Structure 1
């Protein structure tokens, strides 16, 4: 999978800032920032964990998609570009998780 789908989805979410809240779930989330989208992200994270532990691969896939969508909404609410997150991930490629956590603790 290319990151372009995440960037495309982030652009769609950004465009929803000007959508009619009567017809746009994304706009209603954005209007409720920071609490509403953050709470929804937390709910989706829990649902993803539950699916990972006890549900089908299809259920986990659906919950993971929901989680990514809601994460992108939270990032949009904070004006954080998904490209910056992808750059951070790219910078971590080839670095062990232990090394990366040590680097974060010294920032």
Structure 2
């Protein structure tokens, strides 16, 4: 291996260690270890993959409060299952009328 290749390899290893330390700081040792194990199971190696695994599994789902409308009776409306076909039909009808 030439000295240029060794230098590039050393630089890459240093970068991976730096990224790993950042992930440890951000997610903690236990989570980092879990992310590393999952990346090895999936046969994907690299800090970017581990970071993606940690981000997807550790990011909490955001829950938003329901919107409160001025007319109280509108706040009580609930839909069992939205029928998107009906909404599409209304939009297409409006587009047709505007042409």
Which TM class, normalised by the smaller chain length? Answer: 0.3 to 0.5
Q: TM-score, normalised by structure 2?
A: 0.33
User: RCO higher in 1 or 2 (8 Å CA, sep ≥ 6)?
Assistant: 1
Q: Scaled by the length of structure 1, what TM-score is found?
A: 0.31
More helix by share: 1
Larger Rg: 2
